Amino acid sequence: MNFISDNTAGASPNVMAAIAAANDGTASAYGTDLWTQGAERRFAEIFEHEVAVFLVTSGTAANALALASITRPWGAVLTHEESHVADDECGAPEFFSDGAKLIGLPGAGNKIPPDLVTRTLARFREGALHQVQPQALSITQATECGTIYSLDEIGALKAAAAPRGLAVHMDGARFANALVTLGCSPAEMTWKAGVDVLSFGGTKNGAWAAEAVIFFDPAKAGELKWRRKRAGQTLSKGRLIGAQFDGLLADGHWLDLARHANAMAARLASAVDKSSEARLAWPCQANAVFPILSAALQTRLKEAGVGYLPWSERSLPEGVTLAEGEVVGRFVMSFSTQEAQVERLAALIEA
Amino acid sequence: MNFISDNTAGASPNVMAAIAAANDGTASAYGTDLWTQGAERRFAEIFEHEVAVFLVTSGTAANALALASITRPWGAVLTHEESHVADDECGAPEFFSDGAKLIGLPGAGNKIPPDLVTRTLARFREGALHQVQPQALSITQATECGTIYSLDEIGALKAAAAPRGLAVHMDGARFANALVTLGCSPAEMTWKAGVDVLSFGGTKNGAWAAEAVIFFDPAKAGELKWRRKRAGQTLSKGRLIGAQFDGLLADGHWLDLARHANAMAARLASAVDKSSEARLAWPCQANAVFPILSAALQTRLKEAGVGYLPWSERSLPEGVTLAEGEVVGRFVMSFSTQEAQVERLAALIEA
Amino acid sequence: MNFISDNTAGASPNVMAAIAAANDGTASAYGTDLWTQGAERRFAEIFEHEVAVFLVTSGTAANALALASITRPWGAVLTHEESHVADDECGAPEFFSDGAKLIGLPGAGNKIPPDLVTRTLARFREGALHQVQPQALSITQATECGTIYSLDEIGALKAAAAPRGLAVHMDGARFANALVTLGCSPAEMTWKAGVDVLSFGGTKNGAWAAEAVIFFDPAKAGELKWRRKRAGQTLSKGRLIGAQFDGLLADGHWLDLARHANAMAARLASAVDKSSEARLAWPCQANAVFPILSAALQTRLKEAGVGYLPWSERSLPEGVTLAEGEVVGRFVMSFSTQEAQVERLAALIEA
Amino acid sequence: MNFISDNTAGASPNVMAAIAAANDGTASAYGTDLWTQGAERRFAEIFEHEVAVFLVTSGTAANALALASITRPWGAVLTHEESHVADDECGAPEFFSDGAKLIGLPGAGNKIPPDLVTRTLARFREGALHQVQPQALSITQATECGTIYSLDEIGALKAAAAPRGLAVHMDGARFANALVTLGCSPAEMTWKAGVDVLSFGGTKNGAWAAEAVIFFDPAKAGELKWRRKRAGQTLSKGRLIGAQFDGLLADGHWLDLARHANAMAARLASAVDKSSEARLAWPCQANAVFPILSAALQTRLKEAGVGYLPWSERSLPEGVTLAEGEVVGRFVMSFSTQEAQVERLAALIEA
């Protein structure tokens, strides 16, 4: 049983079917094909807004391109200290932005407290010569801890960022998982709340390799076509990504997939709640569960061949500490996680 | 009829079948999956040599990563002035290498004359402070003009590059097309002839988006894993690329696909040879044909809805000039080009 | 009375005389002149070690070149969160290193606790793909808070850094000030304690614009000549820097200048100790004094036209907090600070 | 007798005196001092225009900062193939611009033919995805061959560059030498002729290390302060550069120095004209002379201990070729070249 990540799954059948359907005849290259154009139109509909869309093959590329577009080389990006852009992309944002600085902020559950944004900005005098210039705020929705920002929280972050003109980027590698939990519209979770640029994640949602950088102000996206090309992210057979989004976005399939993953996580979280050997490190709000596991439970899971990741304690809520032998474990559900497996895992944990 | 490029096709049925077969169950992420490992083993067999292999999704990324690995930021890459790395990648090699310089050399048929390498190197004193340091030679096989280097020519280029310690890179976006023409082994066309690093092209050959950077001295490849990650080219669901190569490389499928494309090109070239309104700008040696088209023929092709690209005259052989109204046209054949269409085109040209 | 920084002074008379003496006849350009060579020899004598020396015009350039030489673009530099390289150079290290990451560590008095190096390294698994690779540790001697590391503390940092192979860089913008306090040899404070690369500061010490990057293992310095040239730091009339170091280093002039500056700081610190309206935020160990000033004293200083900088409270020692209205002030002494002015300031503070 | 370069001289007495005069008391740091502000005012007067001025210590830095300011990383700079920025700065423009491409154009006497600009631009389709985007034209006045562009020629280059919106940069490392030959105003040779950004050279003119990046549209210079800081080119004791320009620019001293150097070159050129063993490769228009030297004359110069540089033949005028044994020699005069030495050299050549 492998709960290590939602990227260990393949692609959903709808995505596979869409790729197969697109594999017919010739198509114009480099993202000028009909499937890519179709994806662009779908995004405009989904977000109820004019958008500029750039399809790429990895979340790392989407995030790094997005941040490079809104930050000068001497600029700084405020982000959570454990965010993917700060800690899991081997310096990709620094590479794509020609050396901008990521400033990592602490915060329980990997959520950035708005007042910390304000206090941090106060340390960087506007226009000062010697310091880098804060120019962007990057938040992750859902976070790496499986938590989500409420609409009010996003709005509060925007309010903290706006006085200094920071652009707000949302890393939406698990955008759909957050969206179905909040039950709001994609527009409400993004531009209506103050998001300027979004990394829309298709891969973890059920595609093979399909991510989109989405600008809600197309006028600001003018240079991204060159950045993307120059980064080797402009596929010649661009319909491969366009078709994946076709399969994903049609008929709300992407939301169905996310609902399934979230439901599996909720089932596991409820087992943790009942267990005397585990407790939740953070509330389960998307498709991942982070129980604090007793030593005995760790042994039992190991013997049962359950795959999960040990996780960092840096963002535990105030007051939560680990007893000796305890660890935080990460269990991530995907569109393809089978209910039977989750039930078996739940049984192991509740036992 | 679309002869604009070999990247307007989709993927071969074998490749699609391999992807579908790989879409089953969970797999470890970031290129540690069985399909990627299988591709790595196949490349070692095909090249009869220990290799370090890095799968990526675009030729631009493969070339830029390869060149960045063998060139310091103050280094220089000698290449043809019309090579893809010099003229079609929007500065990707400069980006990935943190600012290395590409020095474009002229040469008929986009082939670099070995003695020009020698003369160019003489202009750059070894170890000099003020000039960039030549550190790599990049050749394209087959070239953008559809010509190919013979094994002796590759050897002569290596001999010109070796005294100054230049690493030799081969851009093999159309590697298979060149190989089946030469009829030699992959080993003979690469490390035996002096190639240090190869961009092995799967996409134009029949995949969706599958390229490989191949080092023949794995000891020199140690840092590429970070370069690739940092460039957003390390797919989380890495089996997508591994499976494409699985479909392509099994049972010599890649060579069959290339043989078909080359045969289609040869058929068209023979029509050009017979035509009074066209002549070949360069010999047809791979899967592309470059006829010099009379004005009348251009009109006829346009009326028939034939898609092709006008091409640069910079690398015409000495003595070949265009009469008024003539243009060079590029017609590229892919694995999926249909014989009937080529016959119709041939008929138009011979008419 | 201006105590804002030690960079508000000009150059010492000896330095001016050395420049004037060097301004005679022609000299070979780009750092191949006799004065530069003389400086290189002096550094070898001063450090009792073979050294590779690269003269530049600013501390920012010295630090950024030094760090770029020991860090790959996907590497990380551990440093204090308030160090000059992290917070005052507008991202120069990121620029020169093509995007390496600076990881800021907290620590009282701007000194990095060795065990925090160990704990931080534990968060970065060796050879891991997704995280940047820690490759250097940068310490400042004397620190921006006017404190200094003891030889044992430098050794302990080296011991924490060594198991992971981190190179140790010392930002010695105020190297002489620290040295005369410790009373040890330059060798003891650098390579004998584990420092691999030093930014040796001449500017604050009494030159106009003269800094040196010094490698204690010349074999590792091979590429810096190109990095420096490419950064526009290779002066054509290189003797300008060589001569400044000539004036500074001859007959221990640099140490005399530092002793004067430190003595002035000690005089002021003793006044703070006696004052009921001020107390030292950190011990005065070099040429800067950081009193915590009462509101009344701030007013008195303002009325007297005393120039000083308000300073950050981030690195106050544990337990030290500011009462309402208090601020930390920075007063820096230079080679040219006049005793009479310090006495007047002392009187104001003691009053 | 050393005629190798105009950078083998030291500084003019006026410059030394200005530095000494500035070395008094404290001054605010990082280019906010009175001397720097004075230089800025002088430049506005000299150019009869509002300007944004950035003082730096090397021509390499001035050029690289200027080009980085007017070119995106995927942009291209058209320049002469033997210009200093293309061939003598170890890739500094590529470094500062984060990877922009320099496109080297041929042209006799290192002057770019305007129609070649037009033809080159035609090869780069506006807004095209795959190619870099031409965004700047960089010309050198006087050129590395000692020739100068007339005002009409500069205007013609501007006219060729303007339709595509290229910014025009002038590398004025020997600006004064060109200016006194043309006898026009600084305004006429720059913004009135279409120059947008100028690297104004003080070093070769008679300073130690003083160059200025000058924008004729200050609104476009907004970001250069961060670029300069980040490049380690913002001196803390900025008055060192300000004072040099003070000494240089006061009372037309800079023009006097250039007139002397040019006169020395003219004297030598007249000797070459009379010699049977030498002829001018290019007309002598500034402070350098490039005779084609017979083998016998080379021997005579060597025996007399005359220092000069062998020079490239790439930009010889059409029809000029070297006989066996002949070489092009470069002899450069500076503000400090002594008439007696030139007379001795002239005698050797005329003999």
Instruction: Report if residue A5 sits inside a domain.
Output: no
Instruction: Report if residue B246 sits inside a domain.
Output: yes
- Token look-up 């979230």 returns A262
Whether C267 has its CB under 8 Å from any CB of chain A: the answer is no
pLDDT value of position C28: 93
D221/D271 same-domain check: no
**Interface contact C229-B72, CB threshold 8 A:** no
B174/B300 same-domain check: no
Q: Could you say which of C253, C285, C312 is where a domain stops?
A: C253
**Interface contact A229-D129, CB threshold 8 A:** yes
Q: Could you say which of D221, D253, D285 is where a domain stops?
A: D253
Instruction: Report if residue C316 sits inside a domain.
Output: yes
Shortest alpha-carbon distance between residue C213 and chain D (Å): 13
- Mean pLDDT, all residues of chain D: 97
Instruction: Please compute Rg for chain C using Cα positions.
Output: 20
- Token look-up 């986009």 returns B110
Whether C19 has its CB under 8 Å from any CB of chain D: the answer is yes
Q: Are C13 and D19 in contact (CB under 8 A)?
A: no
Backbone φ and ψ of B80, nearest 5°: -70, 145
Instruction: Report if residue B144 sits inside a domain.
Output: yes
Token readout for B221 is 């490849």
How does DSSP assign D53-112, residue by residue? EEEES-HHHHHHHHHHHH--TTEEEEEETTSHHHHSSTTHHHHHTTS-EEEEE--GGGPP
CATH number at residue D286: 3.90.1150.10
CB-defined contacts A:C, below 8 A: 57
Instruction: Report if residue A4 sits inside a domain.
Output: no
pLDDT value of position A42: 98
Q: Measure CB to CB from residue A91 to each of C87, C91, C132 and give the nearest one.
A: C132
Instruction: Report if residue A6 sits inside a domain.
Output: no
Instruction: Report if residue B216 sits inside a domain.
Output: yes
Instruction: Report if residue B180 sits inside a domain.
Output: yes
Residues 95-114 on B with a CB inside 8 Å of D are 95, 97-102
**Interface contact A73-D129, CB threshold 8 A:** no
Q: Measure CB to CB from residue C229 to each of B30, B72, B130 and give the nearest one.
A: B130
CA dist., res. C351 & res. B308, Å (int): 90
Question: Which residue, among B90, B96, B314, would best test binding to D if mutated, counting the most D CBs under 10 Å from its CB?
Answer: B90
ipTM for this model: 0.96
C230/C309 same-domain check: no
Backbone φ and ψ of D200, nearest 5°: -95, 120
Whether C205 has its CB under 8 Å from any CB of chain D: the answer is no
CA dist., res. A76 & res. A121, Å (int): 10
pLDDT at C225 over 90: yes
**Using a CB-CB distance cutoff of 8 angstroms, which residues of chain B are in contact with residue C234?**
129
Those chains having 3 or more beta-carbon pairs within 8 angstroms of chain D are A, B, C
Coil/strand/helix, residue D22? helix
**Using a CB-CB distance cutoff of 8 angstroms, which residues of chain B are in contact with residue C223?**
72, 74
Per DSSP, B9 falls in state: S
A156/A18 same-domain check: yes
Token readout for B58 is 């675009």
Question: Which residues in chain A show pLDDT less than 70?
Answer: none
A287/A227 same-domain check: no
Domain containing A121 equals: 13-253
**Interface contact A100-C94, CB threshold 8 A:** yes
A246/A301 same-domain check: no
Split at pLDDT 50, 70, 90, the class of C222 is confident
As separate numbers, helices (DSSP H) first and strands (DSSP E) second, chain D gives 14, 12
Token readout for A59 is 């979340």
Residues 41-70 on D with a CB inside 8 Å of C are 56-62, 64-65
**Interface contact A229-B2, CB threshold 8 A:** no
Shortest alpha-carbon distance between residue A102 and chain D (Å): 16
Q: Are A160 and A139 in contact (CB under 8 A)?
A: no
Q: What is the mean pLDDT of residues B332-347?
A: 97
pLDDT at D351 over 90: no
Q: What is the mean pLDDT of residues D109-117?
A: 98
Whether C133 has its CB under 8 Å from any CB of chain B: the answer is yes
| Element holding A273 (H helix, E strand) | helix A253-274
The structure's pTM equals 0.97
Q: What percent of chain B has pLDDT over 90?
A: 99
pLDDT at D1 over 90: no
Shortest alpha-carbon distance between residue D34 and chain C (Å): 12
How does DSSP assign D245-292, residue by residue? HHHHHGGGHHHHHHHHHHHHHHHHHHHHHH-SSEEESS---SSEE-EE
CATH number at residue A146: 3.40.640.10
**Interface contact A232-B25, CB threshold 8 A:** no
Number of compact structural domains in chain D:
2
D161/D275 same-domain check: no
D79/D207 same-domain check: yes
With a CB cutoff of 8 Å and minimum separation 6, the contacts of C203 are C7, C58, C59, C173, C209, C210, C211, D236, D237
**Using a CB-CB distance cutoff of 8 angstroms, which residues of chain B are in contact with residue D130?**
87-90
**CA atoms C258, C261, C266, C272: torsion sign:** negative
pLDDT at C1 over 90: no
Those chains having 3 or more beta-carbon pairs within 8 angstroms of chain C are A, B, D
Chain C residue with minimum CA distance to D1: C26
Chain A residue with minimum CA distance to D74: A226
Helix B253-274 × helix B339-350 angle, to 10°: 20
Token readout for D236 is 């803390």
pLDDT value of position C164: 97
A59/A181 same-domain check: yes
pLDDT at C351 over 90: no
- Token look-up 């004025």 returns D172
Whether D122 has its CB under 8 Å from any CB of chain B: the answer is no
Q: Measure CB to CB from residue D240 to each of C90, C204, C208 and give the nearest one.
A: C208
Summarize pLDDT for B50-59 with one digit per residue, the tens.
999 999 999 9
Token readout for A287 is 């498709």
C179/C299 same-domain check: no
pLDDT value of position A351: 82
Per DSSP, A1 falls in state: -
Q: What is the mean pLDDT of residues D120-135?
A: 95
Those chains having 3 or more beta-carbon pairs within 8 angstroms of chain B are A, C, D
Q: Measure CB to CB from residue A203 to each of B60, B229, B237 and give the nearest one.
A: B237
Q: Could you say which of C200, C225, C253 is where a domain stops?
A: C253
Those chains having 3 or more beta-carbon pairs within 8 angstroms of chain A are B, C, D
C96/C233 same-domain check: yes
CA angle D253/D257/D260 to nearest 5° reads 140
D50/D112 same-domain check: yes
Summarize pLDDT for A88-140 with one digit per residue, the tens.
999 999 999 999 999 999 999 999 999 999 999 999 999 999 999 999 999 99
With a CB cutoff of 8 Å and minimum separation 6, the contacts of A287 are A6, A142, A146, A174, A177, A258, A261, A262, A264, A265, A332, A333, A334
